[in-house]
Amino acid sequence: AGDEQGYSDALLGIFDPIAPAAAAALAALAAGDRGQFDAILAPTVPLSRHVFHAPTRFYKTGVVFLAWLNGHQDHFVMVGGQQSARSLLHLTELFELADAAGLLRDPELAVTRMRTLLALHGVAA
């Protein structure tokens, strides 16, 4: 991804959702443990790619969705209804990828909120 030199501004957009993993990975790197650095960040790559899946301009829906799952806000509503910019299937996969990357800080809360979203769409969980 990125230009000919590998540069991409998208890296900045993913740091909020992966902040806990990025902080732990950077601490490992600072301690000289490149293997641990790679191991911590590796599961965030599929998550990052999914958040920025085309059309890329809707990446913020994923960022806000993850913030809601993690209890950083009490709703999943965006200006202009942008929370509907991604499909339920997309959000479900995002939930699974965040779990696989260890980025659900309170898994019980995240599951409760995911079930609420599914129920809102008529899907029993």
CB 94 within 8 A of CB 66: yes
Mean pLDDT across 100-120: 97
Residue type, 94: L
Eight-class DSSP state of 18: T
Eight-class DSSP state of 56: G
pLDDT score, position 5? 72
Does the model's pTM come out above 0.85?
Answer: yes
In this predicted structure, the answer to whether residue 69 has a pLDDT above a threshold of 70 is yes
